[in-house]
Structures are given as structure tokens and as C-alpha cells.
């Protein structure tokens, strides 16, 4: 009798633990990224291409360039990284300042594209179901003044094959929370594409800039399957039943 009781009891206790929070995580399978800054000042072109680094669970790509002359100064920065298999960070910036009537066009893009991730269940997970959520912030700082004008765009997309699991895009200047969630299964291979781009036109004399950034992190949580919830309830019911029988003696 005792051992018969023990099994559902243990099972239900285990499941109580599962329902609250189970860890699962992403494993980075592949990575490809670029960063770029280019500028044109009175028809003179500047191009800078970033490099990316890879290894372990952290990746980064960055390019920063500044040109200072007696007539003007321009700078651009584009960098992105995916840290610890879950933290996304993008930053882009262009700026131009001159006391002279010089035309400027700058564009910077930070792209983390085709980060290939696999959902991995951790030891102790029950069932392959996982919930993935992303929480972050998209933010810009506009130094657009006078004759300058510019845009920026931030997008994050998660897809599995041709199936888009989550998508976020904004051109809004104000701070914006970025939240999305989707379900997946352990073993799934998904692709994260994220990019941020800034462009700016300006005519001197001017001191203008446009900077944007995005950061946030993924949380992967294992969830019990419906039949396991049922087992949990059955287990609890059995315990309750036993308790009642005992108390009636």
C-alpha cells in the first residue's frame, strides 16, 4: 500500500516543481553578422565594413569610424552582439557637424542575421514543450536639427523554416518596449534575424546626429504537457483521497 501511494505522490511533487519554472535554453548553432557605416560628404564617399567575431556563446560585430577635417567632422557606428545565447544588443549612429555649407549623407546598419538557434531541454525537463519570450527596449536619440532629416528602422524576426514565429518592426522615434512570445519544442532549430539601421541627410552649417539602439533578452521555459497536468491533478486527488480515508479512521 505504501509503495502504491508513493508513486503518484512523488510524481505530483515533481510536477508541482515543473509547473512553476523549468529551465531550457538556446544553443547557438551558427552565426552570421555584418555591420556597416558609409558616408558621403560633398560627393566624397567613405565606406567602412565591420567584422564579426565568433566563438563560445558570445558573438559581436562592430564598426566605428570618424573623419575630422578642418571643414567638417562625421562619424558613424554600427555594432551588434548576441551574448550568452540569449541577449541581443544592437546600436547604430551617424553624426555630422560643419560650419560650412557641405552636403552629408550617412547610413549605418547593424545586422545580426541568421543566428541559428536550437532549443535545448535541460536535465529534469518533462516533455519537449517550451515557451520562448523576448523582452527588450528599442530606443533612439534624435539630434536631427535644422535642415537635417533621417530615419531609422529596427526589426527582429524569429522564424522556423518559412514559418515566422515572431516579428517586430518599428520606425518610431520614441522609446518602445519590444515584447513577443512563441511556443517551440526541444530540438527545434530556429533563426533569429535582427537589424537596426539609421540614415541621415544634412546640409551644413549644422551639428546633427541620429542614434538608435535595441536590447533585450530571450527567456526559454519548459512547460508540462497537458497529460502531465492531468497526472498532477490525479496525483493530488489520490493524496487527498488517502488523507480523507485516514482521517475517517
Of 202, 215, 221, 68, the closest CA to residue 138 belongs to 215
Q: For residue 238, give the C-alpha cell.
A: 489520490
Backbone torsions φ then ψ of 205, nearest 5 degrees: -70, 135
Task: Convert 62-85 to b/e letters by CB count within 10 Å (16 or more is b).
Answer: bbebeeeeeebebbbbbbbbbeeb
Question: Which one of residues 209, 222, 224, 232 is an interface residue with other proteins (CB under 8 A)?
Answer: 209
97 binds other proteins (CB under 8 A): yes
Applying CB under 8 A, among 9, 11, 13, 83 the residue interacting with other proteins is 83
Assess 81 for contact with other proteins (CB under 8 A): yes
| 34, 79, 129, 196: which one binds other proteins (CB under 8 A) | 79
Say whether residue 139 binds other proteins (CB under 8 A).
Answer: yes
**Window contacting other proteins (CB under 8 A); options: 81-89, 146-154, 185-193, 231-239:** 81-89
Q: Which region among 4-12, 85-93, 186-194, 228-236 touches other proteins (by CB under 8 A)?
A: 85-93
- 8 Å CB contact between 107 and 37: yes
> Does 54 interact with other proteins (rule: CB under 8 A)?
yes
64 near other proteins, judged by CB under 8 A: yes
Of the ranges 2-10, 135-143, 164-172, 176-184, which one interacts with other proteins (CB under 8 A)?
135-143
Nearer to other proteins, 47 or 53 (CB): 53
CA distance 130 to 22: 9
Binding mask 10-49 for other proteins (x = CB under 8 A): ---------------x------------------------
Q: Does 84 bind other proteins (CB under 8 A)?
A: yes
State which residue, 210 or 222, has the beta carbon closest to other proteins. 210
- How many residues touch other proteins under the rule CB under 8 A: the total is 41
Q: How far apart are CA 118 and CA 185, in angstroms?
A: 9
Residue 142, C-alpha cell as written in the block: 534624435
Angstrom distance (rounded) from CA 61 to CA 201: 25
Q: How many CA atoms, within 13 angstroms, populate the side-chain half-sphere of residue 117?
A: 32
- Is 136 a residue that touches other proteins (CB under 8 A)? no
End-to-end CA distance of the chain: 16
Phi-psi region of 239 (alpha: psi -120 to 50; beta: other; left: phi over 0): alpha
Please give the Cα distance from 177 to 147 (Å, whole number).
Answer: 30
Residues within the interface to other proteins (CB under 8 A): 25, 53-60, 62, 64-66, 73, 75-77, 79, 81-87, 89, 91, 93-95, 97, 139, 141, 143, 207, 209-211, 213, 215, 217
Amino acid at each position: 500500500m505504501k509503495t502504491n501511494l508513493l508513486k503518484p505522490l512523488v510524481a505530483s511533487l515533481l510536477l508541482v516543481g515543473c509547473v512553476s519554472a523549468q529551465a531550457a535554453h538556446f544553443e547557438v548553432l551558427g552565426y552570421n553578422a555584418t555591420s556597416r557605416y558609409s558616408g558621403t560628404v560633398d560627393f566624397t564617399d567613405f565606406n567602412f565594413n565591420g567584422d564579426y567575431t565568433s566563438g563560445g556563446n558570445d558573438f559581436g560585430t562592430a564598426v566605428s569610424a570618424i573623419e575630422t577635417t578642418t571643414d567638417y567632422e562625421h562619424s558613424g557606428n554600427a555594432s551588434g552582439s548576441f551574448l550568452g545565447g540569449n541577449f541581443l544588443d544592437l546600436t547604430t549612429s551617424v553624426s555630422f557637424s560643419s560650419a560650412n555649407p557641405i552636403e552629408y549623407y550617412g547610413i549605418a546598419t547593424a545586422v545580426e542575421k541568421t543566428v541559428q538557434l536550437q532549443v535545448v531541454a535541460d536535465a529534469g525537463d518533462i516533455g519537449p514543450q517550451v515557451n520562448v519570450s523576448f523582452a527588450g527596449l528599442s530606443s533612439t536619440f534624435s539630434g536631427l536639427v535644422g535642415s537635417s532629416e533621417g530615419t531609422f528602422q529596427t526589426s527582429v524576426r524569429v522564424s522556423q523554416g518559412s514559418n515566422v514565429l515572431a516579428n517586430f518592426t518599428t520606425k518610431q522615434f520614441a522609446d518602445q518596449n519590444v515584447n513577443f512570445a512563441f511556443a517551440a519544442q526541444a530540438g527545434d532549430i530556429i533563426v533569429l534575424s535582427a537589424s537596426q539601421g539609421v540614415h541621415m541627410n544634412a546640409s551644413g552649417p549644422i551639428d546633427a546626429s541620429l542614434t538608435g539602439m535595441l536590447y533585450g533578452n530571450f527567456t526559454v521555459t519548459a512547460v508540462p504537457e497537458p497529460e502531465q497536468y492531468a497526472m498532477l491533478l490525479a496525483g493530488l486527488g489520490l493524496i487527498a483521497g488517502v488523507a480523507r480515508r485516514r482521517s475517517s479512521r
